[in-house]
Structures are given as structure tokens and as C-alpha cells.
Structure 1
Amino acid sequence: MVSVNDIAMWRGESSSRVWTDLFWACAGAFLLTFAFPRPALGLLAWVGLVPLIVISLTSAPIRAFRVGYLTGVLHFLALLRWVIGTIHQYGGVPWIAGVAALLLLCLYLGAYLGAFAWGLSRWRRGGFFSLLFAPVLWVALEYLRTMALTGFPWGLLGYTQQNSLALIQVVDVTGVYGLSFLVVLVNTALALCVVPLADRESGRCGWGAPVLGMAVAAACVGAAFVYGTHRMAQVDEAQGKATTLKVGVVQGNIDQAVKWDGAYQFATLETYRRLSAEALKQKPDLVVWPETATPFYYLNPVDGVLTREVNRGLAQGDADWILGAPAAERAGQGWRYFNRAYAVTSEGAVIGSYDKVHLVPFGEYIPFQDLLFFVKRLVASAGNFSAGTKGDTIKGWDWQVGVQICFESIFPELSVASVRSGAGLLVNLTNDAWFGRSGAPFQHFQMARFRAVETRRALARSANTGISGFVDPVGRVTGATPLYEEAWRVASLPVMSLTSLYVRFGDLFAWVCAGLALLMGPVIGGVRRRNP
């Protein structure tokens, strides 16, 4: 077995240096992971990157990359550990394949922290330069992670601040990237206070940059709090003037192991009929069922008996309904399948629909099927799903609904597109049974919460096994349900028309950060190194 001493010998380093790097990588991963649900200790995020930034500002780029990469891999291994059970149980592959899939994913995601540390070390200049360069580089890399390949923006750093209501209001200008910027800015300011102590031999022991850095960081965070407090008052005033709808959400708690078993279909529909009957006593205007709540092709003649059973339940009251179901449509000689949300009246008339746009790789389609012919999809109801049209809304009423199905709620551009199309209310249908009793359902709900604040639209969320509930346009959560319990909730939600800067300009802040990262790093930093 290869030891740490052997690794150190091969690299020409002392074993104590390797152990030190391992310690700080583990410490950083621990702080970052615990800042997310659960336990959601968001304050840890403000110091979680300090060790890595100190190492980056005082060491060679190769060492900075090593510590950053290891920090990222360990952090994501802990944050995304639910992937193993999901792939094993629902993908039909052995446990070892689930472990391998998680490891490959984390080796990829860890590269972003490695690149952050390498870039900060490679192009470091004075303290004030690093104070600005670190947060813009971090945001640029987060945005790249959101867009690269199919995109995987799970666990962006700004999400750790969900419980600071005044602070998160800034996302209606910058998106969640603005919060990530502030968190990294504070981490860098703190790191600059440590650098004079950690790097005495270099002679860079002045305290001007640390004092200035702390002052700038405090001013920026303070300004964000002031903005948030003022903006909350404005949005609350707009909510008070808006038309309200009484919306119900239903949580069926259907076991994923039997969800697609034909023998349980009528039992599933009876569960939703019974829970909906309780919700209808509150006289809601709209009732929402979760993603694929009807485990068959609703409205397809092949499943006519089950469709009639659903419509019988919908006729219990005067409410309209949004319900999740797979859909199949003829396409030439074959079929196209969709993960769909139907809007249906109490008389059974379909007045609108939405097809999921951002599909889950290996969940709803298999990429590179010729190579991965042995991999089973996690959703066993159909062939590969087709994507809907970005920006589509349900327009069956005087107001429009922007729908997010499952993990579409972690992609802010989708909710922004629906609001630009006229949505006055957001609805998230999801089935988080895949995640088990891990931190993932809490993290998923955490990210969906930000879509309400970014767009200034109320959000109703219906999840098969939880968490269901409501988020107002300021980000306040009401009616959140426990996991793995049958439940229903009803709340009055405003139909908003307010347009946030984030809806108007999208990810402009992230693009500016990406441009600054390129300018300050390869351009200015490269010039400095060529002309010392």
C-alpha cells in the first residue's frame, strides 16, 4: 500500500507538508459541507474557504491546486452521498457502480475548487487585488459549473445563506451568485488577516491590505443588508396590493419502490383523492399534485379507466388542478414521451400543460446510448423523454403559472424565462423520494426557495414525499411539510406583476464576474509575470 511518506518522497516534499495539506483540505470540506442542509450552519460558509485562500496566497500554484482539488472532492463526496443509494436502488446497478458514479462526479466537481485555488495562486498580486479577484473568479467558476455539459449547479455557495432573509434579497439583482461573491469576499478578507502571520518569511507582513479588506467586506455585506431590508418593505407592499389565490398542495408519500407497479395504481389515486378531499374543505382556487402523481399516461385511451378515476376525484370540488403525469404522443411511426404538468378543471377539461425542459441525464434519458446500453433509467415509465419549450407557461386563467418540474428548480434561468413570458405565480412539482432521508430533500427545497426571491413570485411546491409548502416573494417559508408523511397544505398566495432586475437582465452579474476574472487573471496577471 502506498503511504503518505511515499507520496511525499515522489514529490520531493516532506511528509509533514502532505499531512498538513490533507488536514486543511479535510477542515475546509467539513466547514463547507456543514454550511448546507443538514445541519445548515450557514455561518460556517463565511470562514470555510479561509484555509484554502491562505494556502493559495502563500504557496505555489501546484500546491494550491492540490489542496483545492482535494477540498472539493471531499466536500462533494459528503454533500452528494445520496447519489449512491439512488443509482443502486433505482438504476438497477450494483452498489459499487453507485460508488463509482459518485466518485467520478466528485472528481469532476472538485476540479472547480482546484481551479479556483490554482488561479488565485497563479495570478496573485497585492492584497487588494486578491480581495477582488478571489470572489469574481469563484463566481465565474460557479457559473461555468451551472452551464457546462448539462449543468449541475447543486450546492452553490450562496445557498448557504438561506436563513438570512434580509441578506438574500440581493439575489433579485445578482442571482445567487451575488451571495457567493459576498461569502468569498469575506473569506478573502479574513485570509488576508492571516497571511502576514503565515508568510512571515516573504516579508509581506504589512497590515494595510488586511484592514482595508475587512473594511471593504464589511461595507459590502452591510450594504446588502440595507438593500435587503428596504427591498423587503417594497415587495411586502406590492404583495398587499396584489390579487391573491388560495392554493393547495398535496403530498401523497407514495413509495418509489411501488410507484410504477400497475398493481398499486388505484391505491395511489385513492390516496390523492382522499388527501385532496381534505384540502378542498379549505375551498382553494387551485390544487397541485406532485410530479408524475398519476403513474400512467393521463388522457391516453390506453389508460382510459385510470383517467376517469382521476377525473372523478377532481370533480369533488370547484377548484382547478395542476397534476403531474407522463405523456405520450405519436411522432411518425413512433412515440414521443414527456414529463408533463396538466392544468385541469373540476369538469375534467384540460386548459393547459407544461412539458419539462431540463431533463435529468440517466433519469429521464440516457446520453450516449450506444456506449451506455447497459445502464437503466431511473424512471421506468417510458422511453427517453423529450424536452419541452423553455419559457412556456400555463395560460388557462386570467393569470399565468410558471411550472418547474423536479430539479428544474435549481436552474434559475428557467423560472426567469417563465416570468418573462408572463407568469405571476411559480409552481414546483417534484418527486424527491429518490433522495431517501438524506440532506438532499432539504437542499433541493433550499434552492427552490431562491427562485421566489429572484423573480419576486410566490412559489407553491408539491413533493411526493416532501418537502411541500409555500414561499412568498420575499423568501418566507410557510406550511413546510415533514418528510415521508401524507400531507396537504393550503395558503393564500399573491399573483405578482413586479419585475426584478434579475428577471430583466438575467445573469449579467455572473457574466461581469467572468469577464473580470479573465481580465484580472490571464490578462493583467499574465502581463505582470512576463514583465516582473
Structure 2
Amino acid sequence: MQVATANETAGWTGDETLNVWQDFFWAAAGALLLTFSFPRPDMGQLAWVGLVPLMVLSLKTTPKRAFRVGYLTGVLHFLVLLRWVASTIHQYGGIPWVAGVAALVLLSLYLGLYMGLFAWGLARWRRGGLFVLCFAPLFWVALEYLRTKALTGFPWGLLGYTQHKHLALIQLADITGVYGISFLVVLVNAALALFVRRVLDRADWHRSAGWGGPIVGVGVAGLMVVGAYAYGTLRITQVEEAQEKSPTLSVAVIQGNIDQGVKWDTSYQLSSIETYQRLSAEALSKAPDLVVWPETATPFYYLHPADRLLTRMVNRGLAAGECDWILGAPAAERAGEDWNYYNRAYAVTSQGAVIGSYDKVHLVPFGEYIPFQKLLFFVKRLVVSAGNFSAGTKGDTIKGWDWQVGVQICFESIFPELSVASVRSGATLLVNLTNDAWFGRSGAPFQHFNMARFRAVETRRALARSANTGISGFVGPAGRVLSSTALYEEAWRVEALPVMTLTSLYVRFGDLFAWICVGLTVLLGPVIGGIRAMND
């Protein structure tokens, strides 16, 4: 193992008191750059240098210190990025502020581990410029993929999402998923970190060979980014040409803007239904083929005998147009002596006939169910808003007379495998029903919307998104936003969406790229790095 020399350690740490403040400075600098890369303020260009402070330090110090600074960087970053968690749990979960803040802190402490492990790995297995250039992006993607899967998964704020504005660049996602974009961003960070480190190594400036690695690194990273842009430019042209030749389906999305504080108040049920019917009547003037309401837009158990009068009221509104409808609603079904509850999307004709449904597959932990209930039996007392919902079947789609859609409800849109599964089942359109009122006016609604855009690129399917308080809108198969609404307004939009049948490499092979990164990380780090350490 390569260990920092005494001079390196002294030059970067100093006494223990100074060391603490230095560590906090490096962590705060990195966290600030990364957090500002996401909406809002959505300065995605900062992501290309956001990891440089952490990587420069990790390549110059001990694994223990690198982990400490990386962990602190991650915790600070997620505390700010996910600040809406505290207010959501307090305001809508019915628990004190202190519990909401505690939940945010615990979540950030967990997510910070991934960045801490990244910094530790760089310090533990650093072997020279070109090795770092290869290892850093591989290791980062492996950790992002682990975060997507571990403990039910929480892939919110993956680094590749910061580049949603760069339409040509994100086309790479139809091969690699969002992980390929993260790979490129970390590759550039690694190249710049090697260059900065070389500049800081003043004692070796006169060694001409010492500049070879950093210069090659910057060149390789630059060529790969240029190659990604070239590929993306070509793919946009190809996809949009195919889009022009495809049949279309006219889709309307309705944004009712129902206050989350009164959404489930029975005294507001009628007014909520009337709001959606009024907005839908306006949208019907454009003669859509399909009208989409948001997640749980009907604040009652649609079709349940106990709510038959409200169901009839909704169905009378559906009869106003000759089209099909997708409605978000909770559902309850008998299971012996018990009940099973579902977060469901119903497909209904204008005559009130149910032609299909989709039940949410990836439920929100502590919001729709309690994970590890036997172990966390005490949590149920704290999270009063948690339901006891059952999950649907991955890959289910909804079929109409001349359409077949893959549905994602709420944050299912941040899990690529769900949209991929629906496309493999025959979906030619994606529909996202959500209620982002929980997020308030934070950056989260913008982050959520732009993460959903990547599902369109990955699957080469147009996306219709209906959100209670926004952002609602449409995304083309190349990830281009066709139209969208503002937050917290009553609105509707209608768009003719292409019905695509292209099969992307990502749909065909799934997360193969991420798995390759996992395999190469193990090979380059613990295996090769461990063998070399034994030989040192």
C-alpha cells in the first residue's frame, strides 16, 4: 500500500487543531460545489470541479483522514440537498420539528458514508496518475449503484443528474443509464485533481516527466467528453427523425394544485373533484386521446362501495369527453379477514369502465410502509403518516384500445429499472403520476422532474407527467422538455406524443455498465491494490 510520506502529511495537516479546521474547510468547499450543482440554483457546471477538493486531499493524505473529510463532505451536502425532509415529516407527518430534523440528520449520516468510502478508496489504493484516472470514476459509479439498491434504495441526487441541461451529453444514458454521465463527470474531476496535485507539488516542478500523467489525464477526459457529445448529437438527430415518423397520441395532464394540508380532509373532497373536472373540461377542448390525473387525485377509495357516491361523481365528469382517463387513487381490497391497500392508477373509459390498473411497486419507506417491521417496531409510533400499503408487480403496464403505457407513481420515476421493465413489457409511452406538494418550494420538485427526464432518454419513450402542485409536463424521447407548468398553480397541458417502439441498449441490457464498474472496482481496488500492498 502506498502511504503518505511524513512531508506530505505534515504539509497537509499541521497540528491537530489546525487539522480539524482544514478538514472542515475542504469538506465545506466540496459540499458547497456539489449542492449548488443541483436545482436550485442548478449550476451544473460546478459538478465538473465539485469533487476536486476532496480528491486532491485524498491523493495526498492517509485513508483515515480521507474518509473523515469525505464523510463530512457527504453529510453536509445531503443535509442541504435534502433539507425538505425535515419540513415534510414535521408538517405532513404530524411529528415535532425535532423528529423531522433528526430524520434528516440520520439520512444524511447514512448517505455521507458513500462519499467517505469513495475518499477512503482513493487514499487506500492510489497507485499513480493513470490508475487514479481509471479507478475514481469506476469506484464512484459502483458506490452510486450500491446506493440505488441498498436498504430499499435511495438514488436521489446521483451526480449525473446535474447535467440535465446538456441534452447532447445525456444521450449516453440510452447505453449506460445515468451512471455513464456520473462516470464522465468524475473522470473530469479526477483529471483536474491530478493536475492540481501536480501544481501543488512544488518541489518536483523541474521533473519534466512529472507532468506527463496530468496532461494525459486531462487529454483523455476531454476526448471522452467530446466523444459523448458527438454521440449525443448524432442520437438526437436519429431519435427525432424516428419520432417524426411515429404515430402520435394526444395526452392531457391535469394539475389541480390541491393543498396537501386539506387533501385528505373529507370536507374538501367535493371541491377537489370539482377542481379536476373543471380543469379537465378545459383540456377536453383540445380533444385529447388520454387524460392523466396525478397521484391520489381522487382523495377517496375509487370504486369502493363505501365511496360509491364520490365514484359516480367522478365518472359523470369522465363522460364529458370521448377519451380514456388515468386516475390516481388509493385502493382497498379484501384479503381474507384483512385488507390490502394500494397506491393505484386506474385506467377508465369515458363510460366509466375500468380497462386496467397499476399498483405502485416501489413504496416509500416510512411513508407508505415500515421496512423491517419486526426490527423497527417502535418506528410506527413515531411516523403517524405511514400507511401499510402493499406493492404491485414490477413490469405491469396499462393497455388502452390503441395505447400501452408504463406508469411510475411518485418517486418510482427515480428508479430506472421500473421504466425499463415496463418498456420490456410493451409500453410505448411513460406516464408519471406524482404529488410533489410534500416538497414545498424547495429545489426538490425541480430535481424530481429532471430525474424523470432521464427515464425518457434511457428507454426512448415520451413521458407525460401529472403532478398535483407541479411540475407537470411532457418530455420527448430525446429528453427534450416539450412543455411544462409552474409550481403551485392550477394548470393543464395537452401534447401530441410520439408512440415509439425503438429498443435502446439500456432497455436491452439494463445496468450492465454499472455492473462492469462494480467488477472493475473490485479488480483494481481490493484485488490488485491488495496484492501490491502485500508486495510493498
Q: TM-score over 0.5 for the alignment?
A: yes
Q: Is the 8 A contact 1:62 1:118 kept in 2?
A: yes
5+ long unaligned stretches in structure 1: 1-7
> 1: distance between equivalents of 2:178 and 2:106?
26
Match of 1:373 in 2: 380
Q: Distance in 2 between matches of 1:177 and 1:132?
A: 15
Distance (Å, rounded) in 2 between the aligned partners of 1:384 and 1:320: 30
Q: Residue in 2 aligned with 1:233?
A: 237
Letter of the 2:380 partner, please give it: F
Q: Name the CA distance, whole Å, in 1 between partners of 2:149 and 2:431.
A: 23
Displacement of 1:362 in angstroms is 1.2
Alignment of 1:105-184 (within 5 A): 105-184=107-186
Distance 1:211 1:103 in 2: 41
Residue by residue over 1:385-425, the C-alpha shift from the partner in whole angstroms, topping out at 9 and shown as x without a partner, is 10000000002323310000000000000000000000000
- The answer on 1:56 being equivalent to 2:63 is no
1:433 aligns with 2:437: yes
Q: Tell me the CA shift for residue 65 of structure 1.
A: 0.6
Of 507, 514, 520, which aligns to 2:518?
A: 514
Q: Distance in 2 between matches of 1:269 and 1:116?
A: 49
Deviates more, 1:193-202 or 1:35-44: 193-202
CA distance in 2, matches of 1:489, 1:86: 28
CA distance in structure 1 between the aligned counterparts of 2:426 and 2:383, rounded to whole angstroms: 38
Q: Which residue of 2 aligns with 1:191?
A: 193
The 1:140/1:202 distance shift into structure 2, 3 A limit, reads: farther
Return the letter of the residue paired with 1:88: H
Equivalent position to 1:47, from 42, 45, 49: 49
Which residue is equivalent to 1:4? none
Distance 1:481 1:132 in 2: 41
Q: Which residue of 2 aligns with 1:422?
A: 426
Residue number in structure 1 paired with 2:275: 271
Structure 2 residue 250 is the aligned partner of structure 1 residue 246: yes
Contact 2:51 2:186 in 1 (8 A): yes
- Which letter does structure 1 place at the counterpart of 2:378? L
- The answer as to whether partners of 1:364 and 1:377 remain within 8 angstroms in 2 is no
Instruction: Assess if the C-alpha contact under 8 Å between 1:35 and 1:41 holds in 2.
Output: yes
- CA deviations over 1:454-497 (Å, ceiling 9, x no partner): 00000000000000000000011122111110000000000100
Mapping of 1:3-42 within 5 angstroms? 13-42=15-44
Cα contact 2:253–2:473 (8 A) shared by 1: yes
Aligned equivalent of 1:321: 325
The CA deviation at 1:12 is 9.0
* 2:366 pairs with 1:359: no
Which letter maps to 1:188? Answer: A
Q: Partner of 2:484: helix, strand, or coil?
A: coil
The whole-number CA distance in structure 2 between the counterparts of 1:95 and 1:35 is: 28
Amino acid aligned to 1:371:
F
Query: Does the 8 Å CA contact 2:293/2:327 hold for their aligned counterparts?
Result: yes
The residue identity in structure 2 corresponding to 1:116 is: F
Tell me, in whole angstroms, the C-alpha distance in 1 between the residues paired with 2:475 and 2:213. 41
In structure 2, list runs of 5 or more residues that go unmatched.
1-9
Within 5 Å, which residues of 2 pair with 1:438-477?
Answer: 438-477=442-481
SS in 2 for 1:291: coil
Amino acid at match of 1:214: V
**Does residue 1:331 correspond to 2:338, yes or no?**
no
Match of 1:206, SS state, is helix
**Could you tell which deviates more after superposition, 491-500 or 199-208?**
199-208
**What are the equivalent positions in structure 2 for 1:27-106 lying under 5 Å apart?**
27-106=29-108
C-alpha displacement of 1:378: 3.2
Cα offset, 1:307, TM superposition: 0.1
- Say if 1:394 and 1:400, in contact at 8 Å, map to a contact too: yes
Q: Any idea what SS the aligned residue of 2:248 has?
A: strand
Residue 447 and residue 14 in structure 1: after superposition, are their counterparts in 2 closer, same or farther (change >3 A)?
same
User: For 2:442, what is the secondary structure of its paired residue?
Assistant: coil
Partners in 2 of 1:519 and 1:426 — Cα distance?
38
8 Å CA contact 1:366–1:377 kept in 2: the answer is: no
The whole-number CA distance in structure 2 between the counterparts of 1:340 and 1:393 is: 12
Deviations 1:506-529 (A, max 9, x none): 000000000000000000111111
- How far apart are the structure 1 equivalents of 2:329 and 2:145? 32
Matched to 1:429, the amino acid is L
Give the distance between the partners of 1:160 and 1:372, measured in 2 at CA.
34
Could you tell me how far apart the structure 2 residues matched to 1:30 and 1:149 are?
Answer: 27
Contact 2:204–2:210 at 8 Å: present in 1 too?
no
CA distance in 2, matches of 1:398, 1:154: 34
Q: Hey, what does 1:480 align to over in structure 2?
A: 484
- CA-based RMSD of the aligned residues comes to 1.4
The alignment status of 1:412 with 2:416, answered yes or no, reads yes
Name the residue aligned to 1:5: none
Tell me the secondary structure at the aligned position of residue 267 of structure 2.
helix
SS in 2 for 1:58: coil
The counterpart of 1:304, out of the listed 304, 308, 317, is 308
When normalised by structure 1's length, the TM-score is: 0.96
- Name 1:3's counterpart in structure 2: none
Q: Which residue of 1 aligns with 2:223?
A: 219
Is 1:398 the counterpart of 2:405 in the alignment? no
Deviation per CA, 1:343-371: give whole Å up to 9, x if none.
00000000010000000011111232622
Contact 1:468 1:480 (8 Å CA) reproduced: yes
Counterpart Cα distance in 1 of 2:136 and 2:81? 23
Letter in 2 for 1:178: G
Q: For 2:351, which of 339, 347, 350 is the aligned residue?
A: 347
Change (3 A) 1:458 1:526: same
- Structure 2 length normalisation: TM-score? 0.95
Contact 2:410 2:435 survives alignment (8 Å): yes
Measured in 2, the distance between the counterparts of 1:64 and 1:373 equals 37
Which residue is equivalent to 1:501?
505
Looking at structure 1, the residues matched to 471 and 133 of structure 2 have their Cα atoms a distance apart, in angstroms, of: 38
Stretch of structure 1 that moved more, 383-392 or 202-211: 202-211
Query: What amino acid maps onto 1:272 in structure 2?
Result: Y
